[in-house]
Chain A
């Protein structure tokens, strides 16, 4: 696609429910990143994929958070047993970097998650 696409744009759920957020990166971009942004803060790194593998998942806050990218393109961020503190905007970015050298990042519009 022309840009990074994220769905849904908004998600409201109840505490304890399971949520999936989808990211469709720019075609051909091998690197994909997930970030979380709380109100008034800069984005916080969650996980980075190079191809199909998670090259760095050190930013995932706990084991309720998991992300996959099975075919090296679309990625899904999965949150189990959601808590009110998970409410934030989840941003996805992609880059055409290869061999570990990071190039310019392009972000999607984000998925706003609200946990009631």
Chain B
């Protein structure tokens, strides 16, 4: 059974810092990996999707990398802003089914 772990569980940084969020998964046979953002009391907003054949994806100040063989993905946020404060979730979908597995998330606070 696929297990997804996110470290750290919570992170607080001053505005302007670059930061890295980590995601690890136990089964490397994944079809894709997706990073989401969740604001309190809201649904999930898709940030980046990385297919298994890709190494990274970029969108604005966000860069996500994928190393399937080691079971790791990182989300890099450049020049953090208070508006980036949210919970960030990573999720993987295995090849053989559509059961997307989520980590518990990293709760990010960016202080002005």
Which residues of A are at the interface with B, using a C-beta cutoff of 8 A?
4, 6, 31, 33, 35, 40-45, 48, 50, 55-56, 58-59, 91, 93, 97, 100-110, 112
Contacts and interface: CB of A to CB of B under 8 A. Distances in A.
Contacts, number: 64
B43 A101 contact: no
Decide if the interface of chain B is mainly helix, strand, loop or mixed.
Answer: strand
Contacts of A108: 43
Chain B interface size, as a band, is: 20 to 34
Nearest to B49: A104
A3 B46 CA distance: 12
B99 A105 contact: no
B42 A109 contact: yes
Interface string B80-103: 000000000101010001111111
